[in-house]
Amino acid sequence: MAIPDYQTLMLPVLRLAAAGEQRVADAAEQIADDLGISPDEREEMLPSGRQRLLHNRIHWAKFYLSKAGLVASPKRGRFVATDTGRALLATNPTRIGVNELKDYEGFREFFSGQKSSDDDAVPVTIAPTVETGTPEEQIEAAYQAVQSALRADLLERIVQNTPAFFEQLIVDLLIAMGYGGSHKNAATQLGRSGDGGVDGVINEDRLGLDRVYVQAKRYAETTVGRPDVQAFVGSLVGHGATKGVFVTTSTFSSQARDYVKHLAQRVILIDGERLTDLMIEYGVGVRVSRRIEFKRLDEDFFSEE
């Protein structure tokens, strides 16, 4: 079965906590066994790849329960049900979620962000806006949405610009990635079309010990097929080249991608999605608008010697 959201996990987490002290890792294994979660699903990671999804959701279930006073942490890395938590379980609840936790004053204060010591404080909601996702999941989902919009904007602006602009963009990107050394010695400028089917050549290293031949096609929707790629490979053979990069703002057909897998030459196909990913990664055509730093509790600071 799919991994339940963190609210659905609150009741199983509280039940385990009522049975004795628990660790998140142990609770995750027990809950996974009880719910029939497969081994592959247990290993599923957050998009960042930094934490298992199940562990993350159990962590937040435990955290929210603690804000309601239903669980406590008697020692580092462990949690256990409080008397209040056991009293709630005694009512045989069928579900525990954010709405149920609002019955507890401590959670209401946490949920609204109000400070009881400051009557004039402006409430700031810090709980999830989509209550089925943990804060990390929502942050990462929002980040991916922003990245997706940025990729679309980049492609739109590239297609709207001139071929010369696109060719210069490729030079800027390759230089940012470490090829050629600098704009001055990047080798032959892209845009010298008609040179045997090659748009340009760039040094693979600062000394120019090897060269990469480049083809750039600025299309809005046209899929680049095998014939175009095959013609480019033929140009590489004519130049005695062994490495080439074919860049397009659109996509490559499956036949084109299959074709380059079995060549003596090393040919890399970069489609619009990959192009914009590289631009974002290497800071070409984009700039940082805001940095947000997240911090976690330093368990070592509070650990006993």
Asked whether residue 161 falls in the same domain as residue 90, the answer is no
Residue 265 lies in a domain: yes
Q: 0.85 exceeded by the pTM? A: no
Q: In whole angstroms, what is the distance from residue 49 CA to residue 238 CA?
A: 44
Percent of the chain with pLDDT over 90: 43
Asked whether residue 192 falls in the same domain as residue 240, the answer is yes
Q: Is the pLDDT of residue 204 over 90?
A: no
pLDDT, tens digit (0-9, with 9 covering 90-100), for 282-293: 999 999 877 888
pLDDT, tens digit (0-9, with 9 covering 90-100), for 247-278: 999 999 999 999 999 888 899 999 999 999 99
Residue 283 falls in which region: left (phi positive, over 0), alpha (psi -120 to 50) or beta: left
Residue 149 lies in a domain: no
Residue 1 lies in a domain: no
Residues 42/136, Cβ–Cβ less than 8 Å:
no
Neighbouring CB atoms inside 10 A of 3's CB total 22
Asked whether residue 161 falls in the same domain as residue 274, the answer is yes
Asked whether residue 80 falls in the same domain as residue 170, the answer is no
Give the residue from 149, 170, 134 showing the smallest Cα distance to 244.
Answer: 170
Residue 298 lies in a domain: no
- Out of 115, 145, 164, a domain closes at 115
Residue 123 lies in a domain: no
How many domains, the chain? 2
Q: Are strands 223-224 and 251-252 parallel, antiparallel or unpaired?
A: parallel
Tell me the residue range of the domain where 27 lies: 6-115
Question: Which 3 state secondary structure label does DSSP give 213?
Answer: strand
Q: Is the pLDDT of residue 281 over 80?
A: yes
Percent of the chain with pLDDT over 70: 85
Give the residue from 266, 140, 159 showing the smallest Cα distance to 213.
Answer: 266
Question: Which 3 state secondary structure label does DSSP give 76?
Answer: coil
Residues 106/68, Cβ–Cβ less than 8 Å:
yes
Residue 5 falls in which region: left (phi positive, over 0), alpha (psi -120 to 50) or beta: beta
Domain CATH number, residue 24: 1.10.10.10
What is the pLDDT, as a whole number, of residue 270? Answer: 95
Residues 257/263, Cβ–Cβ less than 8 Å:
no
Asked whether residue 59 falls in the same domain as residue 159, the answer is no
What's the N-to-C CA distance of the chain in angstroms? Answer: 42
Asked whether residue 94 falls in the same domain as residue 35, the answer is yes
Amino acid at 213: Y
pLDDT, tens digit (0-9, with 9 covering 90-100), for 100-131: 999 999 888 877 754 343 333 333 333 344 45
pLDDT, tens digit (0-9, with 9 covering 90-100), for 49-101: 778 999 989 988 998 899 899 999 888 778 999 999 999 999 999 999 999 99
Could you give the maximum distance between any two Cα atoms of the chain, in Å?
81
Asked whether residue 175 falls in the same domain as residue 105, the answer is no
Asked whether residue 105 falls in the same domain as residue 174, the answer is no
- Out of 65, 89, 115, a domain closes at 115
- Out of 67, 92, 115, a domain closes at 115
Residue 16 lies in a domain: yes
Residue 305 lies in a domain: no
Asked whether residue 103 falls in the same domain as residue 167, the answer is no
Domain CATH number, residue 226: 3.40.1350.10
Residue 143 lies in a domain: no
Asked whether residue 99 falls in the same domain as residue 216, the answer is no
Question: Which 3 state secondary structure label does DSSP give 73?
Answer: coil
Asked whether residue 15 falls in the same domain as residue 93, the answer is yes
Q: Is the pLDDT of residue 32 over 60?
A: yes
Asked whether residue 195 falls in the same domain as residue 273, the answer is yes
